[in-house]
Structure 1
């Protein structure tokens, strides 16, 4: 089997794809590939049998993500079980996982602190046996396309339920695990580094030495993600290599230990560091590979690097079947496989710079499908940026962080080097990265990625790299063109699709509609609401970052032709400024009587966004679709009453968007437009009984009613009176609080409504 272990590893990878995508396509592709290798005598019977066995075993072994979707009311109950994860103790909440004794199920335990200084749970430790009482419920799922699904995330870790503890009296625990000391030591080391160095320096030491990047500014983390640099923040082979180098220097090179004793002791030292570094899959991958190398050197058996990483891959999955769903695990092994399989081509060029270019090219191209699956975007320029950033971190930042970690007890030296690093890092990396992000960030927004395109991409990419290494440049170029065409097709699918959509997003108590015309001829947003902070009564960014922005990225939307703001209220306008920061917005459309703060208007104009003020009788066009303003005629001296009311036709249906108008305005619309008929009505003011006048509803005679409303909201929306009225008029009602986002998919002639939550 020497030299062939990558075949079973790839077979297991295909079994994972089969389970994750729930698609037999991957099984068929693998079987055809193994058959081809066998027929051409490139694969013997033993590797073939082992590969097929591994594929079948892991296809059954990998757990499909099962989400409990049946109704489940929160239930007060008591359980007994053992804590199986380290305690996550943040400023406001304490979390850990418990394996329940009777059912063997994993349950997420959550306790919200009563005050910041609370220390009631500090003695609760990993491995303790506990009796807990609290409210058991289903985790919150996503109610919008593209939104992070917390329920699915927990299910991918084997957790179906969570329990909220009300007080420390509801939990009685005894005992602890033997490795609790290491987790406590890690927390103490992080706190020590935070106190020993400045905030900027300690954030990078904790991230690159101890595996905790929570102190790195969110803006920097977002830049790393958008430029495909996230792998730098994950402790992996380079970090472990430096640790091993420091270890051998301090033990063997300084003659503290013999080489044999140093090798023996590393089996204790390296796993300890893996725990101290956070225990992420990338850490254990690198750790096991080093230990594997030491073992085979001792027993004098030769394995290739490809064999070593493949066996490590299989061992980790056998130890934890849920690892296959771990994003860090997926990225770490894909990059490692890609580099190892391409190592001969990378090392062919004598120029160090060209080797770095090739290394960056392979590292980025091998993970493109994962980037598109998780982030819906790919930036081709990230390949070039990695050429400069990876060496900077590899040869300066990461080694320097380890040096600072080691010399931290030496006050004067540590302080001086702290200042030196801060200055160098600020001017050589952080500021240039900000400039590059502003001037050269041109990603391909692709939206979601179908499984068949994942198979096609990797098939073509592997063929390209095969011919590259063979030196058959003409064929390599041909397959490279095909890979590029696949990416182009993914990015330009909306522009060749005859389907448009109207999506009423579930943002809670607020409005947000996204209209996409067929062939992506235009994108219009009608309202973009947000919540607000009770301390300052300013718009909260939560709805935008968790719902609106992910949805637009999921759809592959980068440019927005227009944003209609019906009126000034935060639940309709609160996310508009955030949209302008991240997306190209051509026009903002508001009422003639909309009150804009002077600073806000200047900010919109600085972004190159036009402001279009309209009133009743005006209209605007978007790629042939006409949107007519029916209200307001005059200034009604109230934000709700001055809401823009827009009439249009989409998918051969007439639509009316109404903001928060009241009954007086509704009756005025009927007087001014006595022949108005509407098939799809956006119910005004979230179903409040101050709107939806019976005469108005009867006059326009809608077939469908859309109600954007928060679940269990404090206003009692929608009113029972309004729901009864709509039922009496035989109007089909769609509600975001019950059904999540509502999607209307249409062509020029017809369309269909879909509920995101069936």
Structure 2
């Protein structure tokens, strides 16, 4: 029946699915490359096929465009009509995550979903939520706010991510006034409670065994697994924890074998496989990759193989989960499935074909992997092969057995096996070194790379053409790794400073790295794992620009919001030398941290020059040894591509006065304002003397210091200086070859 339906389609299912995918991105992304690609494909369709077939395809595409358009309209309408406050919400139990004293979960109210955050008030309350598995109705005192949008170029967009999950707002709960259990209501709700109960059962096992159990069986990883998540990411094998084909094949295959052993005929197994797939999908959180694999498994039993199977899966997914290709996980899941369906190893022995496919798939996915992660670990190919075999043949069966026997006996003795695996991978990561950073390809380069790899697949037997295509692929990768443009970028790292400068030859200078300032001591139960600011902002941006080495890291002074994340940065990038003021070296704690980094450190004073962009940045200040604090900040000045830049660290009024005494004719086009725009910096006399045309302000959104101060902004207006702020505009970048082009994230 399914094959008969396929024959009635005007095109091969995979061709129709590709057209629908291109149309999908036209409607949802509204980007020019998507429109151009769709237009070229449709014109090719007109050229290759009879008008009658094209007309049928046109009506299918028209219906799809209407469907996609309605989804976009509904999403945007829902986003615009969110209430300002909520008093009663439903807590979905399998979304509970606890990190120290921070509780997060998905809440629903009036048919809408919210990402909720709540600071736990006591250890008793924390223990209560840790054991909670029933759906809860909460009466709360809470505010609703928009999620943080994209902050940096090629950076993570939390607001857009939540929208793909059907969530438009963040719920900040100040107080839980009343709490009671309520009915799950739907089969999906019941599965949520079962999944939460299973996750709680897994917590009785010791780490790291419990992390492997929750991750591989139920697709759940909490913040306590962050350290190993970083390790698996560096090794390029974090996808092994994304529940997908391997896991689904194991569990569905096990279920089918049990049914056949119980005497169920092969014809009837399919009928019980569908409800089993729904139950397993719910226990795995209905992630895109799991849903895709389950659909493919059912279609496979209906006789659909390879590309026909994938194409129909894509069409079904448009209906079941319209946002499935707006997430990283969705793109990677379907991308891997496409490459696997595309590759034909039928001429090879079955075992050899499996190993070759495990090697070929990561290579075929390289452009998409780079688009999302900017780096690639060549060792990941071998590790994927080895660990896939280990996971499928040993770990999944062992963890499944341990989980089902846990009510009777805890097989915790096997934890040593997982500890040994973690130690082995940590040692391997140390020996392998850092992943190779390629950079993030632009949309145009990504499309070009995908097309080139497609032609390479089609014409790999033609040696001269194959060689030309390989050279073209390498050329695009080289351009991504080494952008032939100069740039000065103020990175949005929140409350702090970090400015990246690179010239067209590839020389790099990083001024400050930011850092998180801690204001209060917490009790043991309140402590949780946290990411550094650099991990979320600075490091992804540098990797997206293909940076693997920082030639010079200049730390203006010893405040944490300027140098706090220097060890984190050193972990990810090779550093040529660290430049500091002489006064900074009087801070023993700072000096000890520099020594632990094991990098070359050099102190600089006024008069020294740092060559870059066929010009140089001159150190104007400090003039003598200071104390490493705000008014001892290193100040840089230089004419870069005809624009005079002044970078002032946290220099305050007293330091500005000393600076002007020695440079009374200082003229500036672009000023990096001192001390994040505090009223103690950027004095009127200083601004009137240097007369900046544009001022850059680095400050965190809704920061506790209320930076930039209104008084400072009024001074800038009085001297007719335009200003850009990271808290409002995100990252700010000057980029160009001979002249600058100014751009902001938002």
TM-score normalised by structure 2 residue count: 0.86
Is 1:394 matched up with 2:392?
yes
Assess, with a 3 A threshold, how the Cα gap between structure 1 residues 425 and 52 changes in structure 2: closer, same or farther. farther
Assess, with a 3 A threshold, how the Cα gap between structure 1 residues 549 and 72 changes in structure 2: closer, same or farther. farther
Assess, with a 3 A threshold, how the Cα gap between structure 1 residues 97 and 476 changes in structure 2: closer, same or farther. farther
Assess, with a 3 A threshold, how the Cα gap between structure 1 residues 505 and 304 changes in structure 2: closer, same or farther. closer
Question: Equivalents in 2 of 1:31, 1:417: separation in Å?
Answer: 56
Is 1:530 matched up with 2:515?
yes
Cα-to-partner distance string for 1:341-393 (whole Å, 9 max, x where unaligned): 21x2x3433494x5355313432133333222222233445334433333333
The CA deviation at 1:589 is 0.9
Deviation larger for 175-184 or 650-659: 175-184
Is 1:61 matched up with 2:38?
no
Kindly indicate whether the alpha-carbon contact (under 8 Å) linking 2:549 and 2:574 is maintained by their aligned counterparts in 1: yes
Cα-to-partner distance string for 1:177-227 (whole Å, 9 max, x where unaligned): 2323322222222222331x3211121122111221337732332333344
Question: Equivalents in 1 of 2:93, 2:214: separation in Å?
Answer: 20
1:699 to 686, 689, 692: 689
The CA deviation at 1:85 is 8.9
1:292 to 283, 293, 299: 299
Counterparts in 2 of 1:165-564, with a 5 A limit? 165-169=173-177, 175-179=183-187, 180-195=189-204, 197-214=205-222, 217-253=225-261, 255=262, 257=264, 262-294=269-301, 296=302, 302-342=303-343, 344=344, 346-350=345-349, 352=351, 355-356=353-354, 358-409=356-407, 411=409, 414-419=411-416, 421-422=417-418, 425-426=421-422, 429-438=424-433, 441-447=434-440, 449-468=441-460, 472=462, 475-492=465-482, 494=483, 496-497=484-485, 500-517=486-503, 519-535=504-520, 541-564=531-554
Question: Equivalents in 2 of 1:54, 1:596: separation in Å?
Answer: 72
Assess, with a 3 A threshold, how the Cα gap between structure 1 residues 479 and 36 changes in structure 2: closer, same or farther. farther
Secondary structure in 1 aligned to 2:232?
Answer: helix
The CA deviation at 1:148 is 1.8
Cα-to-partner distance string for 1:416-441 (whole Å, 9 max, x where unaligned): 4443x3365246x5245323442xx4
Is 1:18 matched up with 2:29?
no
Secondary structure in 1 aligned to 2:298?
Answer: helix
Kindly indicate whether the alpha-carbon contact (under 8 Å) linking 2:94 and 2:193 is maintained by their aligned counterparts in 1: no
Assess, with a 3 A threshold, how the Cα gap between structure 1 residues 435 and 31 changes in structure 2: closer, same or farther. same
Counterparts in 2 of 1:17-56, with a 5 A limit? 17-19=25-27, 20=29, 22-23=31-32, 24-35=35-46, 37-38=48-49, 51-56=57-62
Kindly indicate whether the alpha-carbon contact (under 8 Å) linking 1:240 and 1:287 is maintained by their aligned counterparts in 2: yes
Kindly indicate whether the alpha-carbon contact (under 8 Å) linking 2:306 and 2:342 is maintained by their aligned counterparts in 1: no
Secondary structure in 1 aligned to 2:337?
Answer: helix
Question: Equivalents in 1 of 2:621, 2:290: separation in Å?
Answer: 61
The CA deviation at 1:89 is 4.6
Question: Equivalents in 1 of 2:298, 2:737: separation in Å?
Answer: 59
Q: Which residue of 2 aligns with 1:299?
A: none
Assess, with a 3 A threshold, how the Cα gap between structure 1 residues 506 and 175 changes in structure 2: closer, same or farther. same
Cα-to-partner distance string for 1:703-737 (whole Å, 9 max, x where unaligned): 23333233443334334443333322222233333
Assess, with a 3 A threshold, how the Cα gap between structure 1 residues 78 and 675 changes in structure 2: closer, same or farther. closer
Kindly indicate whether the alpha-carbon contact (under 8 Å) linking 1:120 and 1:168 is maintained by their aligned counterparts in 2: no
Deviation larger for 475-484 or 360-369: 475-484
The CA deviation at 1:541 is 4.9
Assess, with a 3 A threshold, how the Cα gap between structure 1 residues 735 and 465 changes in structure 2: closer, same or farther. closer
Deviation larger for 157-166 or 535-544: 535-544
Assess, with a 3 A threshold, how the Cα gap between structure 1 residues 251 and 56 changes in structure 2: closer, same or farther. same
Assess, with a 3 A threshold, how the Cα gap between structure 1 residues 540 and 653 changes in structure 2: closer, same or farther. farther
Q: Which residue of 2 aligns with 1:567?
A: 557
Question: Equivalents in 1 of 2:183, 2:471: separation in Å?
Answer: 61
Assess, with a 3 A threshold, how the Cα gap between structure 1 residues 374 and 746 changes in structure 2: closer, same or farther. same
Q: Which residue of 2 aligns with 1:95?
A: 105
Question: Equivalents in 2 of 1:564, 1:243: separation in Å?
Answer: 53
The CA deviation at 1:320 is 2.2
| Number of residue pairs the alignment of both structures matches | 722
Question: Equivalents in 1 of 2:600, 2:289: separation in Å?
Answer: 47
Question: Equivalents in 2 of 1:286, 1:541: separation in Å?
Answer: 32
Assess, with a 3 A threshold, how the Cα gap between structure 1 residues 170 and 625 changes in structure 2: closer, same or farther. farther
Kindly indicate whether the alpha-carbon contact (under 8 Å) linking 1:682 and 1:706 is maintained by their aligned counterparts in 2: yes
Question: Equivalents in 2 of 1:73, 1:686: separation in Å?
Answer: 35
Secondary structure in 1 aligned to 2:552?
Answer: strand
Question: Equivalents in 2 of 1:304, 1:636: separation in Å?
Answer: 72
The CA deviation at 1:173 is 8.6
Is 1:137 matched up with 2:129?
no
Kindly indicate whether the alpha-carbon contact (under 8 Å) linking 2:608 and 2:619 is maintained by their aligned counterparts in 1: yes
Assess, with a 3 A threshold, how the Cα gap between structure 1 residues 485 and 432 changes in structure 2: closer, same or farther. same
Kindly indicate whether the alpha-carbon contact (under 8 Å) linking 1:591 and 1:614 is maintained by their aligned counterparts in 2: yes
Cα-to-partner distance string for 1:518-567 (whole Å, 9 max, x where unaligned): x1432211122212223469998532122211221232222211111111
Deviation larger for 90-99 or 182-191: 90-99
TM-score normalised by structure 1 residue count: 0.85
Deviation larger for 551-560 or 699-708: 699-708
Deviation larger for 220-229 or 519-528: 220-229
Assess, with a 3 A threshold, how the Cα gap between structure 1 residues 320 and 687 changes in structure 2: closer, same or farther. closer
Secondary structure in 2 aligned to 1:661?
Answer: coil
Is 1:4 matched up with 2:12?
yes
Counterparts in 2 of 1:624-703, with a 5 A limit? 624-637=614-627, 639-703=629-693
Assess, with a 3 A threshold, how the Cα gap between structure 1 residues 13 and 724 changes in structure 2: closer, same or farther. closer
Question: Equivalents in 1 of 2:563, 2:530: separation in Å?
Answer: 11
Question: Equivalents in 2 of 1:17, 1:753: separation in Å?
Answer: 28
Q: Which residue of 1 aligns with 2:3?
A: none
Assess, with a 3 A threshold, how the Cα gap between structure 1 residues 340 and 718 changes in structure 2: closer, same or farther. closer
Cα-to-partner distance string for 1:21-63 (whole Å, 9 max, x where unaligned): 6231121232244346537xxxx966x6665444443344334
Secondary structure in 2 aligned to 1:325?
Answer: coil
Report the RMSD for the aligned CA atoms in angstroms: 3.7
Cα-to-partner distance string for 1:250-271 (whole Å, 9 max, x where unaligned): 3433x46555665543333332
Secondary structure in 2 aligned to 1:709?
Answer: coil
Secondary structure in 2 aligned to 1:199?
Answer: coil
